[in-house]
Amino acid sequence: MDQRLTVTRNGPVAEVMLDRPDKRNALDMGLFAALVAAGEALKGAEGLRAIILHGAGAAFCAGIDTAEFMGMAGRIAAVKAEMLAPPTGEANRFQRPCTVWAELDVPVIAAVQGVCFGAGLQLALGADFRIAAPDARFSVMEARWGLIPDMGITQTLPRLMRADLAKELILSARVVEAPEALALGLVTRLAADPLAEARAMAARFAAQSPDVLRAGKRLVDDCWTLPPGPGLRREAELQADLIGSANQIEAVMAGMAGRAPVFTG
């Protein structure tokens, strides 16, 4: 794996860290591939309950390394072909670094400090939660380069904010300070130490049944924008899978006995 991305495991919690502080953790194709590989590897991790995404140094991620743009200039036709290669409904290689996290059965928390621009913001939006420092800054910055955001933002931003607010950020590329990002819905909460708060949140998730983590994440991701018919059906299917399962029975027995539950899986 790319040495500029580190994956560490502390019991039930994994931390994925962008480790390129000299470039404010800017992404290039090597890091794109490393993020996808990390996400895929964590899908099968035994005993995993939560994942934290964060950046080394003073920034979460400043976006795509501008040197990457220069490298693409000589192969525009190939880049376009790669963008359009996957069948409809599947993410391309540029989208996968951000969309892979929604495929995991555990909650993913982004701890954001410093700048979170462009591709960095889209990566953070790929997480289930974003905890930001009060002085963090955000921008959908692609318009500055004559582009639109295209790393899965159509699957994340509509769940968080109104269309007119999203359009304004996409069309203006303006920088948003953390308090406004919180008000807009880009951020889950602010914390003086976002990584410490993310670890505390992960610890709370780690105490829950892995079946609840999986089904609760799917309940929102699968159903939030569905009409009543299929939405209610999917809700019932997820609940039916939980009722009477070993971990559900353990949750009830532990609650009645006043002890901590011991879950499997």
- Does residue 265 belong to any structural domain of this protein? no
The whole-number pLDDT of residue 263 equals 97
Range of the domain at 222: 210-257
- Does residue 56 belong to any structural domain of this protein? yes
Say which residues have a Cβ less than 8 Å from residue 217's Cβ, sequence separation at least 6: 105, 106, 107, 128
CB crowding 216-251: b at 16 or more within 10 Å, else e: bbbbeebbeeeeeeeeeeebeebeeebeebebbeeb
Same domain (yes/no): 137, 247: no
- Does residue 14 belong to any structural domain of this protein? yes
- Does residue 140 belong to any structural domain of this protein? yes
Task: Identify any residues that bridge with 27 across adjacent strands, giving them in sequence order.
Answer: 64
For residues 183-204, average pLDDT: 98
Same domain (yes/no): 170, 149: yes
For residues 232-257, average pLDDT: 97
The whole-number pLDDT of residue 53 equals 98
Same domain (yes/no): 216, 202: no
Same domain (yes/no): 168, 218: no
Same domain (yes/no): 15, 67: yes
- Does residue 95 belong to any structural domain of this protein? yes
- Split at pLDDT 50, 70, 90, the class of 40 is very high
Same domain (yes/no): 250, 120: no
Same domain (yes/no): 38, 125: yes
Last residue in a domain, options 206, 221, 246:
206
- Does residue 200 belong to any structural domain of this protein? yes
pLDDT (tens digit per residue) in 220-233: 999 988 999 999 99
Q: What is the percent of the chain with per-residue pLDDT over 90, rounded to a whole number? A: 90
- Does residue 228 belong to any structural domain of this protein? yes
Structural domain count, the chain: 2
Same domain (yes/no): 65, 175: yes
Same domain (yes/no): 74, 126: yes
Same domain (yes/no): 166, 78: yes
For residues 127-153, average pLDDT: 97
What CATH code is carried by the domain that includes residue 155? 3.90.226.10
pLDDT (tens digit per residue) in 163-178: 999 999 999 999 999 9
